Amino acid sequence: MTYFQGLPAGAHAPFSTQWWFTDEFADGPRRMMDAFWAVPEWAPADESHLLGSLSVVTKIAYGAGSVTYSTFDADSTDVLRLNFVPDAIRVGGRPIGRRTDLQQEGYTFDEATRVLRIRHTNSRDVDVEGRSNQAPPSLITFDDPHLAAGTLLVGQYPSGVVDWGRGGWQIGTPLGKLGTFTLALSDSKAEYGEFSFYAPRIFAGFDIYNDGETDATVTVRSPETQEVSWTVKPKELRRLRTSWREASSKVIVAVTNAQGLRFDNLAYVHP
């Protein structure tokens, strides 16, 4: 977050002699969460997310065609965007009905955007059920467990999930449109990198950012399924999904013009 401080000449920016200064409060993420709550259509259409609540959300679990969560207060209004159509919504184990407004306990649902709004007044516990064969992926964010930027990935990381081999990949700094720790090829001129799952998993994809000045291509292969290719334009951030349904033992990532490529949020699904 950056600010311009246009105050009288005697004033000064904190920790600086410059008019521009930067701070790192929680304002930015909090305002972004408010934005998704206000405009839920901005959330990913192919994923289910609880985007906002008038109460504190104390726990939540996502499944294939389900979202189950609890709030601190029994009386709350909550906003979700789903990747499925809900068949039943229960509050405290009791079904609630569909309504045209939320003046009373119940829910509204927009089939076009799959935005669900729930008003519950008698229980903290909410269960949304529908039909979907799309299980939510697990993510490797490269932030937790923490390793310093530049650390070569050798062997398992996280433990029991992925084996990265002998240093072909490394932890990268935040870069461009990726604001957290990233994944990078150790050799920026390398034409491919590979990793293995400790136990076979469905590789769902990752986020990728191209900080270079030319188009980059990324091709993902696995011995168990077909290859998938994408083109990533300069300064473009994309979420890439393989749509694979078979578990993979090893994943090979072939790249061209890879000097500016960074990866993040590696997604996988338990078969």
What is the full DSSP assignment across the chain? -EEE----TT---TT-SSSEEE---SHHHHHHHHHHHH-GGGS-TTS-EEEEESS-EEEEEEETTEEEEEESSSSEEEEEE-SS-EEEEEETTEE--B-SS-SSSEEEEETTTTEEEEEE-S-SEEEEEE--S-PPPEEE-SSSS---TT-EEEEESSTTTEEEEEEEEEEE--BTTB-S-EEEESSTT-SEEEEEEEEEEEEEEEEEEE-SSS-EEEEEEETTEEEEEEEE-TT-EEEEE----S-EEEEEEEEESGGGEEEEEEEEE--
As a whole number of angstroms, the distance between CA 188 and CA 166 comes to 16
As a whole number of angstroms, the distance between CA 109 and CA 257 comes to 45
Can the peptide bond before residue 223 be classed as cis, meaning omega within 30 degrees of 0? no
As a whole number of angstroms, the distance between CA 264 and CA 140 comes to 8
Q: What is the CATH number of domain 138-269?
A: 2.60.120.1350
CA-based torsion, 69, 206, 46, 55: positive or negative:
positive
Q: What is the CATH number of domain 39-130?
A: 2.60.40.1180
List residues bridging with 76 in a β-sheet: 120
Q: What is the pLDDT of residue 32?
A: 83
Q: What is the pLDDT of residue 271?
A: 82
Q: What is the pLDDT of residue 96?
A: 97
Closest to 62 in 3D by CA, of 139, 137, 161: 137
Residue ranges per domain, the chain? 39-130, 138-269
As a whole number of angstroms, the distance between CA 20 and CA 4 comes to 5
Q: What is the pLDDT of residue 41?
A: 96
First to last CA, the chain: 41
C-alpha distances in angstroms, 131 versus 82, 84, 88, 111, 184? 11, 6, 10, 14, 37
List residues bridging with 237 in a β-sheet: 209
As a whole number of angstroms, the distance between CA 173 and CA 136 comes to 27
Contacts of 32 (CB under 8 A, 6+ apart): none
pLDDT in tens, the chain (271 residues): 555 555 445 555 555 555 555 555 666 777 888 899 999 999 989 899 999 999 999 999 999 999 999 999 999 999 999 999 999 999 999 999 999 999 999 999 999 999 999 999 999 999 999 998 888 899 999 999 999 999 999 999 999 999 999 999 999 999 999 989 999 999 989 999 999 999 999 999 999 999 999 999 999 999 999 899 999 999 999 999 999 999 999 999 999 988 899 999 999 998 8
